Amino acid sequence: YIIFDNAVYGLTKGQASPTLKLGEQTKSLANPNPNYNVNPIALAISSGFTFVARSYSYDVRQLKDLITAAVNHKGLAFIDVLQPCPTYNDLYTRDWFGGLDQINEETKKPTPRIYNLADVGYDPVVHYSTTTELNEKLAQALEKSLEWDDKIPTGIFYKNELVTPYTKRITDKIPNYLENPAAKQKISKNGKSTTDISEILDSLSV
């Protein structure tokens, strides 16, 4: 799953999306946003995704690498892509992400808000199938998901390859499921169901 996250509905004239924070007001809104925001990273982690990452639309190389990693991951994968909307969102702009309002006093250069978790030694991988290891990795991922404003992490937040993929769990019970999934099974012929439940109905008759 990939979320293109610009905090507004860009295709329908800039209404607040679920990721716009409470009280924030973009130029497309008549009033401040009255709703609390959703944290996509935290939601994905708590929903059981085993690969959770974030990228930035202007970091094409990182985004490409994360999409490749997500596709190759044996499990449910999620990427939150921060994507400035120059038309309707004047809060989270390219300049804002680039830190043009955060000038380093010594270097006189902007301090970008975006940083890569891999550059600070962050390890998102669950290495051992223990409750302690799993809880530690989940906790650190959730903690990083709360970072915003001055420092915004990108990269892989959480990766667990020790969980048996859902497809494997299903095929262990139904060996031919992938070759003949429910979505491809014929359920009707000439408008009539192919399933005969007459015996069940007869058993219920009084």
At 118 the pLDDT is 97
For the chain, give every domain's residue range.
2-166
> Digits of tens for pLDDT over the chain (206 positions)?
999 999 998 777 789 999 999 999 998 899 999 999 999 999 999 999 999 999 999 999 999 999 999 999 999 999 999 999 988 999 999 999 999 999 999 999 999 999 999 999 999 999 999 999 999 999 999 999 999 999 999 999 999 999 998 889 999 999 998 898 888 888 888 878 888 888 999 999 88
Residues 73/44, Cβ–Cβ less than 8 Å: no
Strand partners for 115:
153
At 108 the pLDDT is 92
At 131 the pLDDT is 96
pTM above 0.75, yes or no: yes
SS3 20: coil
Residues 33/96, Cβ–Cβ less than 8 Å: no
DSSP string, 74-134: SS-EEEEEE---TTT-SSS-HHHHTTTT-B-TTT-SB--SEEEGGGGT---B--S-SHHHH
CA angle 8, 11, 12 (to 5 degrees): 80
Strand partners for 188:
193
